[in-house]
Amino acid sequence: MNHKLIAPTPPLGWNSWDCYGAAVAEDEIRGNAEYMAAHLKGFGWSYITVDIQWYEPFANSSQYRPFVPLVMDEYSRLMPAENRFPSAAGGRGFKPLADYVHSLGLQFGIHIMRGIPRQAAHAATPIIGTAVTARDIAHTNSICPWNTDMYGVDASKEGAQSYYDSLFKLYAEWGVDLVKVDDIAASRLYDTHQPEITLISKAIERCGRPMVLSLSPGPAPVEYAEFFTEHANMWRVTDDFWDLWPLLLDMFDRCRKWQGVPHAGCWPDCDMLPLGHLGIRSVDGGGADRWTRFTRDEQLTMMSLWSIFRSPLIFGGELRDNDDWTLSLLTNREVLRMHRESHGAREALCQGDLIVWTAEHSDGTRYAAVFNVGENPLLLDLAIEQIGLTGITGGTELWSGAPAELKAGSLQATVPPHGVRLYRFF
């Protein structure tokens, strides 16, 4: 897989999970795509992704209904539930919806679970183009601990690759641009499912359409970094991330472990941005219908860390309800330029409540994200040389647009609790 051609910069997009759980409907996908086209496309945002269980007709929240009938074609492949996605009627699948998203100048993504539907295995339905059935390739001891839809696929069985090839051929026909595969990067019961990742990676290569491969959930083991960079474009470094300060604080440790790994086509993923209007039909994350529980300073901290680390930026809230503040977080051109074009991000300092990340740009610009993870304001008087920067003559704080206060080689600022000052130096 030539990752650099598929995801040369970290993807920017929207995913339905944080606001709609497993229960998103077609009109909500279309509405969020229309908002992105109108307000975000010009800033580089492009992916619209339908998250889990689009094949479950009566999904109603983020809590899965176990062992229920799923919509499936005659070849063991899950299909969109037509009551939720009316344009899928007549076996058209997601092609009409993908075509609409493409007509807006955007890209279309779907979520799938690792494996083959249990109902296909129980019914021994065929795998297209082969003499084997779903029962022949199902690994019935390889299950997801939190969802009953699938059995794993036994990669050693004849027909295993053919099954995944048939899936991704179908997705290519639909016009899918990104596939988020779940229960695969890490597992509560098993190790990383490397054999199935390899099958999926090969199926994408064969399908004739470039697709971003995103692996969930985390934490993906950092010792497998080389494997992930060879087979995928994005992989989660955390379990589901929600709008709670302890989870955000923990992300500093996760980013430190993965520093140096992000590069063209290969992006360790800090998970979605739980911003704006969340929990409309999702009760995951410890809160129902709400606006993000992060304070504004915490929102800036999250956006700054994700951006300087170069995680994919996938917005989780209902876009159409964004206020001016939330929109401003997604449309800061200088922050997005850092996210898109910088390199060499590293943790330059971790001292008490002060954490500093730095990065560089090929034009000579340097960046510094100065975080205060403590509970009190931090009066900063930091020697620039202490974070490995020299020859600085000036700078700008990117969220406020204010000039950096530089005196005698020191950076001076007041950083609020749980807050950040994000600088571009020249």
Q: Where is the domain boundary, 311, 341, 371?
A: 341
Radius of gyration of the chain (CA): 22
Indicate the number of domains in the chain.
Answer: 2
Strand, coil or helix: 231: helix
Q: Are residues 287 and 388 in the same domain?
A: no
Which parts of 197-353 are beta strand (E)?
Answer: 212-215, 234-236, 267-269, 277-278, 290-291, 313-315, 343-351
CA distance 305 to 259: 12
Taking the alpha carbons of 243, 244, 246, 247 in that order, is the dihedral positive or negative?
A: negative
Q: Are residues 275 and 363 in the same domain?
A: no
Q: Are residues 287 and 400 in the same domain?
A: no
Q: Are residues 179 and 290 in the same domain?
A: yes
Residue with tokens 């989660």: 236
Q: Are residues 167 and 203 in the same domain?
A: yes
Q: What is the pLDDT of residue 168?
A: 98
Q: Are residues 388 and 318 in the same domain?
A: no
CA distance 54 to 57: 8
Q: Which residues of the chain have pLDDT under 50?
A: none
| CATH code of the domain covering residue 156 | 3.20.20.70
CA distance 383 to 408: 9
Q: Are residues 313 and 379 in the same domain?
A: no
Q: Where is the domain boundary, 305, 322, 341?
A: 341
Domain range holding 180?
A: 3-341
Q: Where is the domain boundary, 341, 356, 391?
A: 341
Q: Strand 395-397 to strand 343-351: parallel, antiparallel, or no bridges (unpaired)?
A: unpaired
Residue with tokens 């059995």: 151
Q: Are residues 156 and 169 in the same domain?
A: yes
Q: What is the pLDDT of residue 187?
A: 87
Q: Are residues 319 and 298 in the same domain?
A: yes
| CATH code of the domain covering residue 407 | 2.60.40.1180
Contacts of 370 (CB under 8 A, 6+ apart): 354, 356, 380, 382, 411, 413, 415, 420, 421, 422, 423
- Cβ proximity of 268 and 12 under 8 Å: no
Phi/psi region, residue 265 (left: phi>0; alpha: psi -120 to 50; beta: rest), is left
Q: Are residues 114 and 230 in the same domain?
A: yes
Query: In this structure, how many other beta carbons lie within 10 angstroms of the beta carbon of residue 141?
Result: 10
Q: Are residues 395 and 250 in the same domain?
A: no
Residue 93: which H helix or E strand, with range?
none
Q: Are residues 194 and 252 in the same domain?
A: yes
Query: In this structure, how many other beta carbons lie within 10 angstroms of the beta carbon of residue 393?
Result: 7
Q: What is the pLDDT of residue 2?
A: 58
